[in-house]
Chains A and B, each alone.
Chain A
Amino acid sequence: MSELNFTVQDRGLEYLGAARIDGPLVVIERVRDVGFDEVVEILDPEGHPRVGRVLDISGEQAVIQVLEGTTGLSNQSLRARFLGASFLLPVSRHMLGRVFDGLGRPADGGPPPLSADLRDVNGRPINPCARRYPREFIQTGLSAIDGMNALVRGQKLPMFSGNGLPHDRVAAQIVRQACLLEEQSAFSIVFAAMGVKHEVADFFIRNFEDSGALARVAMFLCLADAPSVERLLTPRVALTAAEHLAFDCGQHVLVLLTDMTNYCESLREVGTARGEIPGRKGYPGYLYSDLASIYERAGRIEGSPGSITQVAILTMPADDISHPVPDLTGYITEGQIVLDRELFQRAIYPPIAGLPSLSRLMKDGVGQGFTRDDHPALASQLFACYAYVKKVRALADVIGEEELNALDRQYMQFGEAFERRFLNQGEYENRSIQTTLELGWDVLSMLPRDELHRASDALVELYYRKQAPQQAVA
């Protein structure tokens, strides 16, 4: 075998045996002509290939990350083939309607989609000069999102959730209902599941089926029982497919990534195995850059009709929003939808927290010419009043509701109505933006008119209900 090592120029070459196997890493010595990030095929004792990539390459030693796990590999009998390129994905518009594994190989029993195009899954950064600023409002039919944290086409808006919260149902509802006001064209959907349970994947598949969307969904499933390292590639594979659909085929693509926390866990696992110096909570110091290389693959490009809108779901460990995963995500994405356990326990669906949720691109996609002229002021006013409700509630907890003054009691009622009528809605209820805005004014009108500082006089005059709906809270 060793003489093979010295005669190589030829690509079909196999190396036999490894110097070290440690967690997901395999170290092979005396390699030649191997590139950084090159893809490797590792053959296990049964001869089944497993995919890996080169993480570190020096003169004669390659550190390989085996994406499909190292179980069963042995130093002596392992065989490795370097494929001479970084990880490439064959892309085609026929990926819609198909199911793939986490590395982009068909998992539905069908043949690989016909493709003439191979793409590096790492992608390339989009030149900021070539980006088109996203501003078309997407109606999701959810008041909490449309009214207060509107999503626009080409935005990356993650959902920060916790274990047991209905993030999957909310995400499925968004996918089901998302549409543009003036166009009827439906979104193509790229769905990437990383380390989620089979049941969760089934839930989404059933939902796509029920809404008749299955034919325009491309699924990349790397479920909880798949080797964890494989997840590192899954979002990249999915986004590579999405980029092809959006910018080569001109489609509007909605990418759903779930669950990014699992992805970060895998990253930490590999970092630890490599003996890297850990950053916060043991996550590698490059977590921010790594996450950015995923989230930044959204948006619009000048001269291309397509777009990529990203909704990434992540579960905050122990509901802690300052945990590195949600924290760094929030710094990269254009806002966040935060699910709130307290609202959930009070049976409010969708339990979207009023205050910490934010859509950074909303300001450019709503208002006159997009939705309705009162939209920005209404949203701002709702935020301000609801923030005050939180204060009053804290006070009421201490001194008792009876001791509150009349105005504060009105705020308490407003808060209740805001949650029960505005936020709360059915899982299959698709509200138009007009309905949402009208509802917003309905609940705001429970407050005295001069409490509304954020909206101009003219708007208040036009929309404030002279006769406040009294039985609102009933």
Chain B
Amino acid sequence: MNSSSESAESIVVRISGPVVTAVGMRRAAMYEVVHVGELGLVGEVVRLVGDRATIQVYEDTTMLKPGAPIRCTGAPLSVWLGPGLIGNIYDGIQRPLPGIEQRSGAWIQRGEKVNPLDLDRRWPFAPTVRPGDTVAAGQVFGEVPETTLVRHRLLIPPEVAGRVKSVVAPGECSLRDPVAVIETPGGDRTISLMQRWPVRQPRPIRERWRVGLPLLTGQRVIDTFFPMGKGGAGAIPGGFGTGKTITQHQLAKWSDAEIIVFIGCGERGNEMTSVLREFPELKDPRSGRPLMERTILIANTSNMPVAAREVSIYTGITLAEYYRDQGLNVAVFADSTSRWAEALRELAARLEEMPAEEGFPATLATRLAQFYERGGAVTTLAGELASVTIVGAVSPPGGDFSEPVTQHTRRFIRCFWALDTELANARHYPAIHWLQSYSEYAENVAAWWEQRAPGWSDLRTEALTLLQREERLQQVVRLVGPDVLPDSQRLILFIAEMLKDGFLAQSAYHDKDTFCAPERQVALLRLILTLYRGGRDLVEAGVPLARVRQLPCVPKVLQAKETFGNDELSRLEELEQRVRDELAALAKRSAQEDRQDV
């Protein structure tokens, strides 16, 4: 919105890939959006020296020439917030990909400008305030049913507060229509169904809370062993082929958050396509509605411009914050933050910044902290409890967790799901390693679990201890083989195998097992540990381990996870009783045999 005389002087003087230098930019502001060249390529000012500005351009700069005009917009990069976001798929700067496809076909052309939201679509608006009401920033003033799953609550923008002067009657409105006028100290403000917010600035909240509720994912190794909290931050690091993306997809599908924002940041095109094809068909296990009705996708695939990849993370988190402000629990999945960090590195190199570790800019840690700290369990301005949970995939080069992105990420997250190449090679999925992973939220959510599925804490500790002891025993086994160990120790090896195969491994493609309800998780774990406790007593009494292993219930226990669905808990209990019975029978039998021997 600068004067035209100003923009006439602003011209490009140098082009180096996505980084462009321009002169005549004395009035430009940092992170202001500019349009570059005749095509109007979208860019952002990232450095100002005198009247010279360095601009990172979100589109391909091929055949851009020195002397090309620059048009300033006077505003920082902002997203549009309003009904119509859910179910949509955007690129890194919130251009809707279906809209781009309609205009330029299968291949993304440069300089396409499509509105992020449909301005003409009419929404049934129901106001919840009346003229004369006092409204505060962030307060709800009306509702729109956005999808069957999402009741979109419209918020007074954070910088507005005052008295409602007028508001439209319930009925159909488009995003263009003014729906209310608020009298504020600074004059009357007209409010519509849509607002904008600069992506690099966190939206305001009233206060932060301690994380207390688990984010249920239906994945046993996560929920039971390394739980995530609503409002928590976590990372999934793993080398290629360890299943980061599948794990992220599983989380996006089954998490009990009300809104999912999935950021495909520098990853494969086909992966985004598979999400696009799958989510409308998959049903939310709680509501039975298509998952797409609660999902927003941001797709900036690896071959799309690198500067837009950098900003896609912020676009995604801003959309998440907007739904959080409506009082909802939102989960953000970013795949992968390493690609985002690489975009930072690439741009820093083009800006000729001094590199720190492995060529990454010195600001890497700060940028990661800023990103993860935008999550959290909060009270919104309207006084409601809500949360943004962030899970970032990390792709460490060579699967080496000591590299800068993984290391810095660990400082700002509290839940670490380490994917292991060896497990992935054996096709044990999810390949989350039980000894390298951790969750600091386990204590926060223990109270919830004990209420929902009693015994969770103890069973969890017992199982983790067993797996730890197994690891130590394996070191011996690698040297001398398992046969020299006493039966009591071989029992631990045996039960650890059962835990891995019968509990931790979970197929994303098995209809009964892809989602595991909390009660079933605890029941399955108890089943295996019942076998362990009974087996331990028998072995101590001198019964050979081989006879425990041969109990007919053992294969049933192994397959229980895929045999009994979430609604067949009673049959799991029956199986548990059967395990007890068989153990008791074996004890009796061997006691008799002992007597006969005597």
B residues in contact with A302, CB < 8 Å? 106
Task: Decide if A384 touches B426 in the complex (CB within 8 Å).
Answer: yes
A450 CB → nearest B CB, Å: 6
Q: Does A404 sit at the interface, judged by CB under 8 A?
A: yes
Q: Check B395 against A331 for contact (C-beta < 8 Å).
A: yes
Question: Could you mark each residue 460-486 of chain B with 1 if its beta carbon is under 8 Å from any beta carbon of chain A, else 0?
Answer: 000000000000000001111111000
A58 and B272 CA atoms in complex are apart in Å by 37
Complex contact B109–A131 (CB within 8 A): no
User: Chain B contacts of A57 at CB under 8 A?
Assistant: 14-16, 65-66
| B540 smallest CB distance to A (angstroms) | 23
Given B97, B345, B479, B558, which contacts A279 in the complex, CB threshold below 8 Å?
Answer: B345
Which residues 422-455 of A sit at the B interface, judged by CB distance below 8 A? Answer: 450, 453-454
Range, interface on chain A = 35 or more
Interface centre among B21, B266, B304 (most CB of A within 10 A): B304
Any A CB within 8 A of the CB of B184: no
B208-245 with Cβ < 8 A to chain A = 239-241
List, sorted by A's number, 7 A–B pairs whose CB atoms are closer than 8 Å: A58-B13, A131-B269, A277-B359, A289-B302, A335-B241, A376-B509, A398-B478
Instruction: Among A34, A130, A288, A387, point to the contact of B426 (Cβ < 8 A).
Output: A387
Q: How many residues of B are in contact with the other chain, CB < 8 A?
A: 75
Chain B residue nearest in CB terms to A387:
B426
Is there an interface contact between A288 and B342, defined as CB atoms closer than 8 Å? yes
Contact B15 A36 (CB under 8 A): yes
Residue among A37, A129, A277 making CB contact with B63, cutoff 8 Å = A37
Contact between chains at B13 and A35 (CB < 8 Å)? no
Q: Give bound CA distance, A133 to B109, whole Å.
A: 22
Assess whether A398 is in contact with B479, with CB atoms less than 8 Å apart.
Answer: yes
A133 and B342 contacting across the interface, CB-CB below 8 Å: no
A125 to B268, CA, bound (A): 11
Q: What residue of chain B has the Cβ atom nearest to residue A247's Cβ?
A: B106
Interface membership of chain B positions 280-324, coded 1 if the CB is closer than 8 angstroms to chain A and 0 otherwise: 000000000000000000010111101000000000000000000
Query: Which stretch of B370-378, B379-387, B397-405 is in the interface?
Result: B397-405
Using A355-B426, A356-B425, A395-B478 as known contacts, say yes or no to A327 and B398 having CB atoms under 8 A apart: yes
**Chain A, Cβ-Cβ closest to B343:** A289
B426 A36 Cβ-Cβ under 8 A: no
A-B contact count (CB 8 A): 220
Chain B residues, Cβ within 8 Å of A134: 270
* Contacting residues, chain B, for A123 (C-beta < 8 A): 107
Instruction: State A291–B210 Cα separation when bound (angstroms).
Output: 43
B481 touches A403 (CB 8 A): yes
A329 to chain B minimum Cβ distance, whole angstroms, is 9
A73 to B62, CA, bound (A): 26
Q: How far is the CB of A32 from chain B (nearest CB, A)?
A: 8
**Which of B106, B345, B478 has the largest count of A CB atoms less than 10 A from its CB?**
B106
The smallest C-beta distance from B214 to any residue of chain A, in angstroms, reads 29
The reply to whether B63 and A35 form a contact with Cβ atoms under 8 Å apart is: yes
Tell yes or no: B277 within 8 A of A by CB: yes
B241 and chain A: residue at smallest CB distance: A358
Residues of A within 8 A of B398 (CB): 321-323, 327
CA–CA, A131 and B97, complex, Å: 12
A373 sits at the interface (CB 8 A): no
Q: Among A37, A120, A324, which residue has the most Cβ atoms of chain B within 10 A?
A: A37
- Of the candidates B14, B98, B109, the one whose C-beta lies within 8 Å of that of A56 is B14
Question: Min CB distance, B556 to chain A, in Å?
Answer: 11
CA distance A127 to B240 in the complex (A): 24
Residues of A within 8 A of B272 (CB): 128, 131
Tell me, yes or no, whether B519 is within 8 Å of chain A by CB.
Answer: no
Using A131-B273, A286-B346, A330-B241 as known contacts, say yes or no to A292 and B481 having CB atoms under 8 A apart: no
CB-based nearest B residue for A361 = B270
From A64-72, A215-223, A293-301, give the one contacting chain B.
Answer: A293-301
